[in-house]
A and B are shown apart, each in its own frame.
Chain A
């Protein structure tokens, strides 16, 4: 995966495009293998994102100088 990590949405959409492209056929074996490897990499990456994600919660609170984003204190 490149240095800048794609979002789940981007990776998932690329995966769908990759699968579609591969299923359309019409590719050399070398091209297909490259797509296949890319697709498997995306499957792993997306799965990892889903498995390892932890929800982030913040609060938008009014202050003297307008609104401020702060971490939400645990209850």
Chain B
């Protein structure tokens, strides 16, 4: 809004001046991001769940707002009569024309300033996206080379090396020594991370330090270190302090391990597990090939059976059997027929014997035939005077002439 534009005195609406004041407050660097210490009074919670209270000291007070979504994330909530240190921004509630403190972090009074710094930096970097889950890079499953940023004199380095050696001796380890404590430490740690990225082809960096007080671990809460981790080309595993310690470095790292030892363990696969896996793979290979060979053998047996059934030798064999059969049948038929004929001959012989005229001749009868025709004379009409006749008797024949 340009108040100098008009020559005549500017007349503003209430809304306009309120908006102007609000813009003024919100553009102030201090009021945008500050901690306020004071005692809480007039605590109330709306039906929507927002919290309203007054923060005051001996001489002044300020209205405070804690939105429900912010309140839900707080470990501590304000309570009447108690001292708190609150983080937030100052702005204007236009309807009431009142400036208010919009709280985003609640800390009981009495925490140290280091901790407040920590919380403020954490809050800022988080909002900037340095901790974003989707930005975390996966840890390579089989790193060839690992950079380690720590103090070579500390137990942390020996622990890390020991674990890497035991779990995965295939790896190459490059130590980038750095002070991990004191005023020089943040720059040293950040430089070591950058140097590993620039000078080597490690696939992974471990940033580690053994346990210590908040002050001793402080280097890992510095923005310089956080940015070096964030800017690292390769994934970073942090292993700082003990399980309960969380540093800014832990939040930025691609993987947070609770201790240096755990960081080393998370960095490499376990060779012992892989040995077991290799045995399993060997078993699968053998099983697979045995199954196939058994299958092929079964197929072969089946094919062989088919082949034998269809081979010319088998066909010939069948024909031979058939011929044998037929031969046997034929033979038996011939034999039957011969037997039959033999039987018939015998009965004929018997019959012949009974019909033989010789027996009759022996009894005294004779047979008379005409000589010229050989016909048997059975009637007188068959002969005439002068015909030559032969008379057969049992022991021979004599001839005569009809008178």
Contact = CB atoms under 8 A, between A and B. Distances in A.
B169 A53 contact: yes
Given A56-B172, A60-B195, A72-B175, A40 B288 contact: no
B175 A67 contact: no
Given A29-B296, A60-B195, A62-B195, A46 B274 contact: yes
B195 A22 contact: no
A58 B148 CA distance: 10
Contacts of A9: 141-142, 144
Contacts of B289: 22, 32-33, 36
A12 B270 CA distance: 14
Contacts of B175: 57-60, 72
Interface residues of B, number: 38
B170 interface: yes
B281 A43 contact: yes
B288 A36 contact: yes
B200 A36 contact: no
Contact of A55 (B141, B171, B177): B171
Contacts of A67: 195, 198-199
Interface in B16-30: none
| B contact patch SS | helix
| A contact patch SS | helix
Given A16-B281, A40-B285, A60-B176, A7 B195 contact: no
B292 interface: yes
Contacts, number: 106
Interface in B125-180: 141-142, 144, 147, 152, 161, 164-165, 169-177
Nearest to B292: A32
A36 B170 CA distance: 26
Nearest to A15: B281
Chain A interface size range = 35 or more
Nearest to A46: B278
A28 B288 CA distance: 13
Nearest to B275: A50
A69 interface: yes
A46 B276 CA distance: 12
B173 A57 contact: yes
Interface of B: 141-142, 144, 147, 152, 161, 164-165, 169-177, 191-192, 195-196, 198-200, 271, 274-275, 278, 281-282, 284-286, 288-289, 292-293, 296
18 contacts: A9-B141, A16-B281, A22-B285, A22-B289, A29-B292, A32-B289, A43-B278, A43-B281, A50-B271, A53-B169, A53-B271, A55-B172, A58-B172, A58-B175, A59-B175, A62-B191, A69-B174, A69-B199
